[in-house]
């Protein structure tokens, strides 16, 4: 299989003259900005991978005079810690991405919904925000950003639950449609983007889409910041070009005994050793919001799955039946099988349940619980049973 190999990139953390980029964007029309983001092929970096240019285009097309740009910084996926690093190191680039998005869509207000545990970043973030506001006002932007804090619920990273939370209600996902681009925060057209997406969009404006599309593959343009953890000698944050195989990734980051890689966190997929070479990290293979966990042969995949299911059992908002009860059933179900209190064939019923959760849950949380469950049960069935 042809692939791009493993290449380190420096785009997100690259030092740039933010003022210059803001000046450049200020002189562009809304259509030009959106066109450039569309041409770049950028897809959302939070994990779901919706084309960013389209999201912006839809929001821009709405007639409402009040629109919002929301930066999703509620980084909660187990094994992801790249947004913290981005905000810590290059917050002005995040702000710039938001202001550019605001200009493109005709929004004058932006909110950053920051994970509760990242509160310690705030003092520095405020200092930089103050400078940023001053700088863009000088250029002529009419755009203002405010912070809103999360309080530890994983579900509030889901876009519509995040809106509910900002609006002062319990963080529960809404019915869709309507989508945020038509009715989002405070029922106004809203573009909600991940921290990294906004920085990437800003860098696309800086470098031009032609430069950006040189990176990555047809389905997965550009580069991505990975949060690498688990059984690796070099855990941490690395920006890599998209298009590598899991094998190439493991060759670089593994400890020589890697038996599985969990790509995309608890809601992502488990790739076993036998599939490393054939699996591309990206939208044509296994997509990821950045979380890469490596497991070596000393790890029990039962424990890994048990841990994920316990997480989902607690972090489901509890609103819809498939997710609230389904998570508990999967969690208790594998315990029963492990203890021999249920037949091993009960796992087949649970796999069917995971399929139901995927198609019948209200939001992305319940819909993706089956990813980890099925990929671990199918590839490590013996570890679950014995």
**Interface contacts to another protein, rule CB under 8 A:** 153, 155, 170, 172, 175, 177, 312-322, 324-329, 332-333, 336, 342, 349, 352-353, 355-356, 358-362, 367
Closest CA to 70 of 159, 139, 196, 200: 159
Q: How far apart are CA 324 and CA 326, in angstroms?
A: 6
Which residues contact residue 71 at a Cβ distance below 8 angstroms, ignoring those fewer than 6 apart? Answer: 94, 97, 98, 110, 111, 112, 113, 192, 193, 194, 195, 198
Asked whether the beta carbons of 157 and 75 are under 8 A apart, the reply is: yes
Residue 129 CA to its chain's centroid (Å): 23
Element (H, E) at 197: helix 195-207
Quote the Cα angle for 79-357-225, to 5°: 25
Q: How far apart are CB 381 and another protein at their closest, in Å?
A: 20
Q: How far apart are CA 129 and CA 240, in angstroms?
A: 28
Q: In the numeric block, which tokens belong to residue 75? A: 């980084």
Q: In the numeric block, which tokens belong to residue 359? A: 């198609």
Q: How far apart are CB 356 and another protein at their closest, in Å?
A: 4
Nearer to another protein, 92 or 268 (CB): 268
Closest CA to 68 of 101, 114, 28, 23: 101
Q: How far apart are CB 345 and another protein at their closest, in Å?
A: 12
Q: How far apart are CA 72 and CA 15, in angstroms?
A: 23
Q: How far apart are CA 124 and CA 59, in angstroms?
A: 31
Q: How far apart are CB 313 and another protein at their closest, in Å?
A: 5
Q: How far apart are CB 374 and another protein at their closest, in Å?
A: 15
Q: How far apart are CA 196 and CA 217, in angstroms?
A: 19
Q: How far apart are CB 38 and another protein at their closest, in Å?
A: 22
Q: How far apart are CB 81 and another protein at their closest, in Å?
A: 23
């Amino acid at each position: 299989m042809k692939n791009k190999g493993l290449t380190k990139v420096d785009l997100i953390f690259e030092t740039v003259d933010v003022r210059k980029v803001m000046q450049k964007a200020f002189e562009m029309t809304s259509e030009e900005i959106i066109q450039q983001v569309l041409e770049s092929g950028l897809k959302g970096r939070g994990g779901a991978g919706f084309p960013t240019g389209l999201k912006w285009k839809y929001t821009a097309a709405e007639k409402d005079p009040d629109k919002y740009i929301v930066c999703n910084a509620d980084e909660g996926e187990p094994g992801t810690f790249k947004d913290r690093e981005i905000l810590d190191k290059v917050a002005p680039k995040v702000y710039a991405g938001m202001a550019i998005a605001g200009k493109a869509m005709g929004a004058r207000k932006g909110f950053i919904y920051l994970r509760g545990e990242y509160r310690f970043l705030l003092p520095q973030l405020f200092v930089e925000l103050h400078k940023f506001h001053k700088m863009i006002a000088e250029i002529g932007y009419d755009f203002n950003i405010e912070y809103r804090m999360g309080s530890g619920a994983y579900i509030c990273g889901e876009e519509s639950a995040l809106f509910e939370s900002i609006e002062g209600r319990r963080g529960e996902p809404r019915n869709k449609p309507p989508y945020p681009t038509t009715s989002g925060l405070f029922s106004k057209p809203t573009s909600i983007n991940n921290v990294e997406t906004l920085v990437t969009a800003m860098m696309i404006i800086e470098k031009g889409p032609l430069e950006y599309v040189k990176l990555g593959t047809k389905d997965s343009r550009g580069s991505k910041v990975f949060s690498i953890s688990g059984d690796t000698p070099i855990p941490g944050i690395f920006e890599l070009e998209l298009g590598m195989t899991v094998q190439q990734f493991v060759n670089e980051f593994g400890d020589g005994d890697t038996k599985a890689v969990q790509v995309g966190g608890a809601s992502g997929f488990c790739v076993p050793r036998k599939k490393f070479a054939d699996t591309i990290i990206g939208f044509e293979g296994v997509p990821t919001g950045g979380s890469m966990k490596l497991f070596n042969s000393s790890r029990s995949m039962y424990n890994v799955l048990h841990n994920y299911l316990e997480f989902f059992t607690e972090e489901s908002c509890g609103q819809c039946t498939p997710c609230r009860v389904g998570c508990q059933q999967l969690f208790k179900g594998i315990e029963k099988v492990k203890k021999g209190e249920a037949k091993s064939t009960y796992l087949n019923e649970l796999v069917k349940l995971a399929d139901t959760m995927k198609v019948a849950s209200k939001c992305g949380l319940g819909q993706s619980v089956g990813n980890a469950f099925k990929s671990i049960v199918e590839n490590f069935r013996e570890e679950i049973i014995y």
